[in-house]
Structure formats: C-alpha cells, structure tokens
Amino acid sequence: MAVFQGAGVAIVTPMYENGDVNYDALAELLEYQIAEGTDAIIICGTTGESATLTMEEHSKVIRFAVERVAKRIPVIAGTGSNCTQTAIQLSREAEKDGADALLLVTPYYNKATQNGLKQHYTKIAESVSLPIILYNVPSRTGCNILPETAAYLVKNVKNIVGVKEASGNISQVAKLMSLAGDELELYSGNDDQIVPILSLGGKGVISVLSNIAPRQTHEIVASYLAGDVKKSCELQLAAIELVDALFCEVNPIPVKKALNLMGKNAGPLRSPLSEMEEANAKRLETAMRNYGIL
C-alpha cells in the first residue's frame, strides 16, 4: 500500500515577527488542509524552511503536526541532511514521535557520488522502520539521484519505497519507472508536472501549490486517477500561471507571501530568505486573482 495517493502539501512553517515558530498558525493551516481534502502533510521540508530550523525546533514541529493531525491523514516528516548521522538522528526522532513516513532529500553542498548515495540512504533506512521517500531536487542540492541508483535502492532496501522527483527531467523519470516499475511509488515534486508524472505511473504530488489551493491540487490528481484525463489536464493547465508566480522567487518566499495575502498568517521568513520584490509580489497577487483564490 502506498504511503499516500493524491496531493500531499509541502506545508510552510509559520513564524512570528521575531522568528519563533507560530504553532497556533500551524494548527490552523493543518486544519485548513485537512478540511480542503489534502491527502498528506509533508512537514519540515524545503517549503517548511527546514534548513533554518534548529534540531530541537525540527523535532518539535514534526511532533506538533503528528499530534494535531492525529492520524486523519498521513504525516510525512522531512528528515534529510547532508550529514548521514544527523539524518539518522532526525529520522529516529520522527519515528518515535509518530510520523507515518520520512522524506529524505539528497545530501547538499558536500553532495555525494552514486555509491555514496546508496550508502547514505541505506544507513538511514536501516536505522528506522518507517517507509522512506527519497527526494531528488538537484537544482537545490547539486546532487542528482540517477535512475539506476533510485531503482537499486527501492529494490534492495525494504523500507525505501518511493521518490519525490523534482529534477524536471521527464526523460529521467521515464527511465526510472522503466527500471523500477511497480516497486516504486513516484510523486511529482513540481507542480507544473503533475499530469506528466501521473502518466508515467505516479501516485501523486508533493506540492507547494497545495498550500494555497489544496482542493484544486487534490482534484488534479483525483481526476486523473479516476480516469478523467481531460479534466485533469485542464486543471493542470489552469494552474500554470499561478505555479509560475509561486516560483518566480526561491521557494518558499512566494508561497508565504500568498498565504499572508489570503489572511492565513504564515508570517515572515527566516534569513537568508527575504521578502518578495514588489514587482514579483504584484505578479503573484495578479495570478492569485486570475485563479480565483483572492
């Protein structure tokens, strides 16, 4: 059985003006997502500003989400690191605190060879019993999980079950699915490629767009899986202007701005991220109005 099927939200971490985590606002966002039909919560990922959370905050945010969601939908904890031992520590904490699965980004900055990736992920997987989704986003990490490597890990490490593919390289994804097939749970990591990934056998999307349009993002996947490919394509194309605006500056700068425009109280960003430039903020607001969520 897949970790989840449908649209999972890569949820933001709301902050107060002083930079502290705003747990009251996080509770409201979690309830909003569940009410709007989101299929899974992905907590402490890139969109959740995991890079600037302390180890203590990281574990506390995951624990809070698990307790608040209370098994209504799966909670997948981002516990990746460029240090294998740190990833093991975070993963064990998330398992202890009740997460349903883990999302593990590739090592960043120091990167790794393909053999290094195999060793890194195997060591983490052996330290926990939770299902693991690998996260391939070379534009941010400088490290690409080749299809052969991902297929090897899925076939040889029992609790490595899936990949969030955000390489943007559809040819690479096709090769991955040709090598791994039914043994792999594939999720799109790009909101503009949900339908293409589904067409290659994907289970859904781990989405930034879902923060502000959860029901619509769910419907893109649900329509496709129900056999209404035409409707799914129409919904995907209707979201393109908004998706482009959500990534006109580095994620999660625009999506936090969008939530604040909606009155969702996402708060500020932690440095080194900065508030949106005025022209880009206007572009985002226009796209939101055109999409009908403002």
Selecting among 118, 121, 152, 164, the annotated active-site residue is: 164
pLDDT tens per residue across span 61-112: 999 999 999 999 999 999 999 999 999 999 999 999 999 999 999 999 999 9
pLDDT tens per residue across span 29-69: 999 999 999 999 999 999 999 999 999 999 999 999 999 99
pLDDT tens per residue across span 233-266: 999 999 999 999 999 999 999 999 999 999 999 9
Q: Is 109 a catalytic residue?
A: no
When pLDDT is cut at 50, 70 and 90, the band that residue 225 belongs to is: very high
Enter the pTM of the model. 0.97
Q: Is 164 a catalytic residue?
A: yes
Selecting among 121, 135, 224, 291, the annotated active-site residue is: 135
pLDDT at 181: 84
Q: Which two tokens stand for residue 199?
A: 């067409």
Question: Which class would CATH give 6-229?
Answer: alpha beta
Query: Does residue 291 carry a pLDDT above 90?
Result: yes
